[in-house]
Amino acid sequence: VRHFDISKDQAALEGICANVYGGSDYLPSEGKNLAEDPNCSFLVLASECSDKPLAVANHRRINSSLSWLECVRTCEQHRGKGLATKLIRNIVEESLAEGRQLMSCTVSSNTAMMRVFEKFGMTQLCRLRSIKSAELREQPGWSPGDERFAQPILKTFGLEQLVGERARNAQ
């Protein structure tokens, strides 16, 4: 495990991320920023033979008591071999040694990452929900792309009673 080196690791990072998020992963464009951020340890787990990165993860220090684990990616042909676990172990140990609590998040469909979190004693604090815009297009009164008017999202989900009169009448 070593720190990401933009001059020699960028091409490998692009390969690792090539099929993440349908090929639209933001991480290759952020690698340099993470590597240069003094609050981050952007780590690489590299092949012992070639020193080529096989997995990456970032340890972001939020404040003196909190760290954030993010940007965990593993090369497709090496998934399921414990590489992410090894990287995360390093970050967990680093965070604890610094006296920081470690937090992270992932999508519920990423069961492999959920199991890794559990290995290190991490517990689920909350569950975030997302709304798929394609489903909203089917809702009555929804006009995608028309930014001149507020979209009726609260009405669509039967939540308009949550908006106070003052906010409702604001221009």
- DSSP states along 54-105: EEEEEEEEEETTEEEEEEEEE-GGGTTSSHHHHHHHHHHHHHHHTT-EEE--
Average pLDDT over residues 49-66: 95
Dist CA 69 CA 30 (whole Å)? 15
Dist CA 87 CA 43 (whole Å)? 8
Domain boundaries, the chain: 2-119, 133-168
pLDDT given at position 125? 82
Average pLDDT over residues 4-25: 93
pLDDT given at position 21? 84
Dist CA 131 CA 92 (whole Å)? 32
Q: What is the pTM of this model?
A: 0.74
Tokens for 97, please give them.
């040694």
Considering the domain 2-119 in this protein, what is its CATH number? 3.40.630.30
Is the pLDDT confidence value at 114 over 80? yes
Q: Residue 52's pLDDT band (boundaries 50, 70, 90)? A: very high
Rounded to 5 degrees, what angle do the CA atoms 97, 83, 29 make?
85
Tokens for 78, please give them.
């090496």
pLDDT given at position 90? 96
Tokens for 124, please give them.
């689920």
Dist CA 48 CA 65 (whole Å)? 34
Dist CA 70 CA 160 (whole Å)? 35
Dist CA 52 CA 43 (whole Å)? 13
Q: Residue 58's pLDDT band (boundaries 50, 70, 90)? A: very high
Q: H or E element: which one contains 10?
A: helix 6-17
Q: Of the candidates 45, 37, 50, which has an alpha carbon nearest to the alpha carbon of residue 16? A: 45
Bridge partners of 55, per DSSP, are 45, 74
Q: H or E element: which one contains 152?
A: none
| DSSP one-letter code for 163 | S
Greater model confidence, 124 or 127: 124
pLDDT given at position 143? 62
Is the pLDDT confidence value at 97 over 90? yes
pLDDT given at position 70? 95
pLDDT given at position 106? 87
Greater model confidence, 78 or 147: 78
